[in-house]
Amino acid sequence: MKKKSQLHSFLDKLEFEDENGNPGRQYLTDVGYIDLLTTDKSGNFYVIELKKGHTSDKVIGQTLSYIGWVRKHLAKGKRVYN
């Protein structure tokens, strides 16, 4: 049996599903796909973007767009982190 990497073990613990049954992996929004969208036990949201070798302002802007979208469409007063 193949052993899971630490990243895969971490990803398996992330759970989110919207009211339509859409999971939080590659979550489609009006502003693009969020790599990982999850919530904690309190219902706060976490927007996680996976970028290899990209640390530009474009990536920061993209992540902020996702955070704004989640606040507007899903958060219902809960906090949104990245």
Kindly tell me if the per-residue pLDDT of 69 is higher than 90: yes
Q: Is residue 3 part of a domain?
A: no
Domain span holding position 40: 25-81
Q: Is residue 37 part of a domain?
A: yes
Residue 77 structure tokens: 């007063």
Q: Please, which pLDDT band fits residue 10 given cuts at 50, 70 and 90?
A: low
The 3-state secondary structure of 28-77 reads: EECCEEEEEEEECCCCCEEEECCCCCCCCHHHHHHHHHHHHHHHHHCCCC
pLDDT tens-digit series, residues 12-65: 666 788 889 998 989 999 999 999 999 988 899 999 988 777 667 778 889 999
Q: Is residue 77 part of a domain?
A: yes
Number of domains in the chain: 1
pTM, whole model, 2 decimals? 0.78
Q: Is residue 5 part of a domain?
A: no
